[in-house]
């Protein structure tokens, strides 16, 4: 180690000289035989200058350096060039990104923001819980963003972790997290609900949850991403406390997102497709793919009524449930809000209500599901929930219309429906929407 004390007047000259020294040493590959953390020459003055050990670039521009404020030395600095990113299509609250290596991902802007922040944090840990219905892109997301940000990932399925031998499951989880931190990778626990459910509901998995809790708290770099098809409240609550795992909702895609995905992939999307997986494999399409549906936007022309309700829980006001759902659908769709329709009973409604609250969606609960759903409804922060029921312990929304009677409001809605009444073979957006809703062809 050679130390040289330099007067402040010679700082600039020292910096230039030091750069030339490092470049010369790199040219003769002198550093190739030295450990990367060893500094061959150090010059001390008011500011220290160091060569970059690691440098991440995209399109020639530096995104991250280690250490900070370092300079690149050919032959010494490890440079990673990331693939270029192209926004193939952009919609209302969502976009489609394509990498120069060919990977494609279509998702909501909110999900993009959370995953970009996680995978671009090279020097600090990130911890996410991706939850939502099947086929929405949760398992593919870590692979796409690892490629986008040049991160290594370790994907662990339940079959790779769970063992019949006592203590081996916990050891596998601990080893996976330890390896991720040592190599600064992100470990992905796919279908994590299999071994991360609430501890009092599965005696055998108590130690597994405890091991992961400890690992999450002690992690200093790398990351953990857990994907699941169940709502967060069914996992052990300690996993979500204190920001240990940040929940990120991945709801069903809109019809526009599905059609864009199919077009970019060179595939066809039938009218009853509800997620990306069904676009890839049409054999997976069912008559009812899920218990709630995303009603895609529709242009019904001018509607002669105003619904004064932005958030909260309300009872619907019309005598005909079918017309009521259409009224809600058309009105809030025109405002750019997502409209979700819970159309058949389900054992747990917290799943869709929590996701709707994150996205500020409008949820219409069908009369068939109202009785069960009322047990799970809590005051929403951003969502607007309508319960289709004659008698319910919720207020009714104020309805303003150009005419004076509710009957005339129904007539207005019926007129709007007739405007998009389907031609059974028509391919216009109105025909597709009306066929999807009325199913009368």
DSSP labels for 315-375? Answer: E---S-HHHHHHHHHHHHHHTT--EEEE-S--S--HHHHHHHHHHT-EEEE-HHHHHHHTT
Is residue 2's pLDDT more than 80? no
pLDDT at position 284 is 64
End position of a domain, from candidates 40, 65, 82: 82
- H/E stretch holding 401: strand 398-401
18 within some domain: yes
pLDDT at position 41 is 45
261 and 216 in a common domain: no
**Pairwise CA distance, residues 225 & 128, whole Å:** 5
The pTM (predicted TM-score) of the whole model is 0.74
Distance between first and last Cα of the chain: 84
218 and 198 in a common domain: yes
**Pairwise CA distance, residues 177 & 301, whole Å:** 55
43 within some domain: yes
Across 100-122, average pLDDT? 92
**Pairwise CA distance, residues 247 & 129, whole Å:** 5
Instruction: Grade residue 4 by pLDDT with cuts at 50, 70 and 90.
Output: very low
274 and 384 in a common domain: no
Query: Between 290 and 84, whose confidence is greater?
Result: 84
Query: Between 30 and 229, whose confidence is greater?
Result: 229
75 and 138 in a common domain: no
Is residue 115's pLDDT more than 90? yes
28 and 108 in a common domain: no
What's the CATH number where 239 sits?
A: 3.40.50.300
In a 3-state reduction of DSSP, which class is residue 265? Answer: helix
412 within some domain: yes
Q: What is the pLDDT of residues 68-92, one digit of tens each?
A: 788 888 888 888 888 999 999 998 8
73 and 58 in a common domain: yes
152 within some domain: yes
1 within some domain: no
Across 189-208, average pLDDT? 63
360 and 425 in a common domain: yes
418 within some domain: yes
231 and 114 in a common domain: yes
Q: What is the pLDDT of residues 238-281, one digit of tens each?
A: 777 777 788 888 988 888 899 999 999 998 888 778 889 888 88
- Which structural domain range is residue 277 located in? 255-286
Computed on alpha carbons and rounded to an integer, the radius of gyration of the chain in Å comes to 28
197 and 171 in a common domain: yes
Question: DSSP alpha helices (H): ranges in 137-254?
Answer: 140-149, 158-161, 168-183, 206-218
- Of the candidates 164, 268, 180, the one whose C-alpha atom is nearest the C-alpha of residue 223 is 180
263 and 226 in a common domain: no
- Of the candidates 234, 249, 244, the one whose C-alpha atom is nearest the C-alpha of residue 212 is 244
197 and 154 in a common domain: yes
244 and 184 in a common domain: yes
**Pairwise CA distance, residues 436 & 441, whole Å:** 10
CA distances from 339 to 135, 290, 344, 385, 435 (A): 19, 15, 16, 10, 17
Query: Between 46 and 150, whose confidence is greater?
Result: 150
Query: How many structural domains is the chain composed of?
Result: 4
Per-residue H/E/C for 164-177: CCCCHHHHHHHHHH
pLDDT at position 275 is 86
């Amino acid at each position: 180690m050679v130390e040289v004390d330099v007067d402040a007047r010679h700082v600039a000259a020292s910096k230039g000289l030091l750069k030339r020294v490092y470049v010369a040493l790199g040219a003769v590959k002198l550093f190739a035989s030295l450990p990367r953390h060893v500094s061959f020459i150090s010059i001390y003055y008011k500011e220290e200058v160091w060569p970059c050990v690691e440098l991440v670039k995209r399109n020639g521009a530096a995104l991250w350096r280690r250490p900070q404020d370092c300079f690149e030395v050919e032959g010494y600095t490890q440079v990673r060039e990331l693939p270029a990113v192209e926004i193939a299509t952009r919609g209302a609250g969502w976009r489609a990104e394509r990498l120069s290596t060919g990977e494609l991902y279509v998702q909501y802007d909110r999900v993009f923001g959370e995953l970009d922040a996680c995978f671009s944090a090279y020097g600090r840990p990130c911890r996410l819980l991706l939850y939502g219905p099947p086929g929405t892109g949760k398992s593919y997301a870590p692979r796409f963003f690892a490629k986008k940000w040049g991160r290594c990932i370790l994907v662990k399925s339940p079959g790779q972790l769970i063992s019949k031998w006592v203590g081996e499951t916990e050891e596998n989880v601990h080893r996976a997290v330890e390896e991720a931190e040592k190599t600064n990778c992100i470990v992905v626990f796919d279908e994590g609900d299999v071994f991360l459910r609430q501890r009092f509901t599965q005696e055998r998995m108590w130690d597994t949850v405890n091991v992961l809790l400890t690992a999450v708290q002690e992690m200093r770099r790398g990351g953990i991403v857990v994907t699941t098809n169940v709502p967060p409240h069914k996992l052990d609550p300690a996993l979500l406390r204190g920001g240990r795992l940040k929940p990120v909702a991945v709801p069903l895609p809109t019809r526009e997102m599905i059609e864009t995905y199919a077009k970019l992939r060179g595939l066809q999307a039938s009218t009853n497709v509800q997620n990306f997986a069904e676009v890839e494999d049409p054999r997976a399409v069912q008559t009812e793919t899920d218990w709630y549906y995303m009603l895609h936007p529709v242009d019904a022309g001018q509607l002669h009524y105003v619904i004064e309700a932005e958030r909260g829980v309300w009872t619907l006001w019309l005598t005909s449930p079918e017309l009521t759902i259409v009224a809600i659908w058309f009105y809030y769709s025109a405002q750019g809000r997502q409209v979700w329709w819970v159309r058949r009973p389900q054992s747990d409604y917290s799943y869709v209500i929590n996701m709707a609250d994150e996205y500020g969606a409008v949820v219409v609960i069908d009369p068939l599901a109202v009785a069960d759903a009322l047990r799970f409804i809590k005051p929403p922060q951003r969502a607007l929930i309508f319960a289709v029921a004659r008698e319910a312990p919720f207020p009714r929304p104020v309805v303003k219309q150009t005419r004076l009677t509710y009957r005339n409001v129904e007539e207005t809605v019926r007129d709007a429906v007739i405007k998009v009444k389907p031609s059974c073979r028509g391919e216009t957006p109105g025909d597709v929407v009306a066929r999807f809703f009325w199913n009368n062809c």
